[in-house]
Amino acid sequence: MNTEQLQKLAIDALEDVKAKDIVVLDVTKLTTLFEMLIIASGDSTRQVKALANNVREKIKEAGGEVLSVEGEQSGEWVLADLGSIVVHVMQPAVRDYYNLEGLWGGQKPAYTPAPRMWGHAE
């Protein structure tokens, strides 16, 4: 599965559980460890855990590999390592404090999903 397919699956999985402020950063010029960072917010520990779990399940269902998931016990910040993509799901206060977008170069997002109209046919 290529990075573009992984990215789409991860974003769809996050949107399914109503993640907020999804941002994708292309970090290929900053590290050789992975290509993309996906950062999203959840309003509670329960939602953060559900978001990360949905990402893991959707990737596995599609035949992709989830290398590891960290932080599920606290639910404030859960990281899912998909190989070429690392997904960070965080509560807003934790996200503001750690400012991953700024830490990874203060760059403009490579992709920001369009807002969905929940309950309406697409």
Model pLDDT, residue 42: 96
Q: What is the pLDDT along the chain (122 residues), one digit of tens a residue?
A: 899 999 999 999 999 999 999 999 988 888 889 999 999 999 999 999 999 999 999 999 999 999 999 998 988 999 999 999 999 999 999 999 998 888 887 655 555 565 554 444 44
Model pLDDT, residue 51: 97
3-103 placed in CATH 3.40.50.1820: no
Q: What's the length of the chain?
A: 122
- With contact defined as beta carbons under 8 Å apart, do 36 and 83 qualify? no
B/e letters for 16-40, b = 16+ CB within 10 Å, e = fewer, are: ebebeebbbbbbeeeeeebbbbbbb
Model pLDDT, residue 15: 95
Look up residue 33 and give its DSSP letter. S
Model pLDDT, residue 121: 47
Model pLDDT, residue 30: 86
Q: How far apart, in whole angstroms, are the C-alpha atoms of residue 89 and residue 18?
A: 12
- With contact defined as beta carbons under 8 Å apart, do 111 and 62 qualify? no
- Give the residue extent of every domain in the chain: 3-103
Q: Is the dihedral of CA 29, 30, 35, 39 positive or negative?
A: negative
Model pLDDT, residue 106: 65
Q: Is the dihedral of CA 118, 107, 71, 74 positive or negative?
A: negative
Model pLDDT, residue 49: 96
